[in-house]
Amino acid sequence: MFYRENGQFKTTYAADQQMLPILQDRVFMAAVLVIAFVAVPLLANDYLFLSLLIPFLILTLAAIGLNLLVGYCGQISIGHAAFMAVGAYAAYNIALRIPQLNFLVVLVLAGLIAAAVGMLFGIPSLRIKGLYLAVATLAAQFFMDWVFARVKWFTDYAGSGSVSTAAIEMFGWKVDTPTEKYVFLLAILTVFTIVAKNLVRGHIGRAWMAMRDMDVAAEVIGIRPVYAKLSAFAVSSFYVGVAGALWGFMHLGSWEPLAFNLTLSLNLLFMIIIGGMGSLLGSYFGAAFIVVLPILLNQIPTLMGMPLTTAMISHLELMIFGALIVFFLIVEPHGLARLWAVGKEKLRLWPFPH
């Protein structure tokens, strides 16, 4: 009823191949973009921007990156925070040593360096699979932790090993207020999402998915595993590297190697598992779930005026959060994105379900 493609005839190949083939989807997406770009900056306050929206946007980008590798190409990685760290420290060093460089160029370079490192650590994927690969990627995590904590050059010989970034300026625009940061990040995320969407529905993405579904069959139909797997590692690390650079520059401002530890890697993995593997939308849902929900849970008792101690609230937060993860995984093992798809399907059939 509400959501039906009846009567929308495609008369050209271009129309048939567009990213959102159904009119309702296009209208909905346009509305979301208008809300995100116009309404939110007008309505939200600094706290929402700094504590919820900005971390959410950056970690969504990282989750998309990880999803390309794990969800689309089927190569498990539990070391992706390491590639975020590579991106962050690369951006820090580039910005420090070539201060006149435009921040966008810095971001791209940081992403490329992360991609190179990602490919290096992706090489074992050519010989090992599944959980064994996961363990191999763990090496990236520990190695990068060690490098950035011990090799002083990367942190510009900072006494305490904590680096801090200067203000970001590009094209004469100083990105320093929370609203400006939000808009900038949203624009980047939008571009990267569109690129990712087109990657996964093009021949590269199809090669990844073929690899994921059955590598032997993929090889038989002419997909070279070396290219498919390493390109997935490269693109994924590029995304994650850019996210890492943004995490450092836009969110933390100053950080220590601990900011990119194993916990962050695992959180990224949880995001795509809860949000939905092999779904870009799922990356958004997952990031929202992992980033925003704990902070909201932490505030509910105070907002409702419950006289609980902060320790009690924190324990409750962890318990409820854990329970919700289990709940959602039982209700929908394919992630929140699958629930969304089910909802859309229902709207299509309404009011006459089978």
Partner 1 sequence: MRQAAKSRLLAAAAGAVATTILATASVPAHAQAKEQFFPVLSYRTGAYAPNGVPFANGYVDYLKLVNARDGGIGGVKITFEECETGYATDRGVECYERLKGKGPTGATLFHTLSTGITFAVTDKTFADKIPIVTAGYGRADSVDGTVFGWNFPLGGTYWDAADMLVQHIGKKEGGVDKLKGKKIALVYHDSPYGKEPIALLQERAKMHGYELLLLPVTHPGVEQKATWLQVRQQRPDYVFLWGWGVMNSTAIKEAVATGYPREKMYGVWWSGAEQDVTPAGDGAKGYSSLVFQAPSGQGQVHRDMIKHVYDKGQGTGKKEEIGEVLYNRGLTAAMMSVEAVKRAQIKYGKKPLKGEEVRWGLENLAIDDASIKKLGFDGFMTPVSTSCANHSGDPTAGIHTWDGKKWIIEKGTRLSADQQIIRPMIRASAEKYAAEKKITRRDCAKEQ
Tokens representing 217 are: 């069959």
**Interacting residues with partner 1 between 134 and 173 (CB under 8 A):** 149, 159-162, 164, 166-167
The pair of structure tokens assigned to 188 is 């980047």
Q: Is 296 in the site for partner 1 (CB under 8 A)?
A: yes
193 contributes a contact to partner 1 by CB under 8 A: no
Contact 178, 54 (CB under 8 A): yes
- Our CB check for partner 1 shows the closer of 116 and 262 to be 262
**How far is residue 196's CA from residue 236's CA, in Å, rounded to a whole number?**
10
CB of 82 closer than 8 Å to CB of 243:
no
Q: Does 310 bind partner 1 (CB under 8 A)?
A: yes
User: How many residues touch partner 1 (CB under 8 A)?
Assistant: 47
- Looking at the Cβ atoms of 52 and 199, the one nearer to partner 1 is 52
Total residues found in the chain within this entry: 354
- Stated as kind and residue range, the H or E segment containing 116 is helix 103-122
**The only residue of 153, 303, 326, 351 in contact with partner 1, by rule CB under 8 A:** 303
| 135 vs 313 by CB, closer to partner 1 | 313
Contact segment (CB under 8 A) with partner 1 among 28-36, 109-117, 228-236, 308-316 equals: 308-316
- Tell me which stretch binds partner 1 (CB under 8 A): 66-74, 81-89, 253-261, 276-284: 253-261
Contact pick of 130, 202, 322, 343 for partner 1 (by CB under 8 A): 343
Q: Where are the beta strands (DSSP E) in the chain?
A: 163-164, 168-170, 173-175, 254-255
Q: What are the C-alpha distances in Å from 199 to residues 14, 66, 119, 130, 214?
A: 17, 14, 18, 23, 20
- The DSSP secondary structure of 21-36, one letter per residue, reads -SHHHHHHHHHHHHII
Q: Which residues bind partner 1 (CB under 8 A)?
A: 43-48, 50-52, 55, 96, 149, 159-162, 164, 166-167, 176, 252-256, 258-259, 292-293, 295-296, 298-300, 302-303, 309-311, 313-315, 331, 339, 342-343, 346
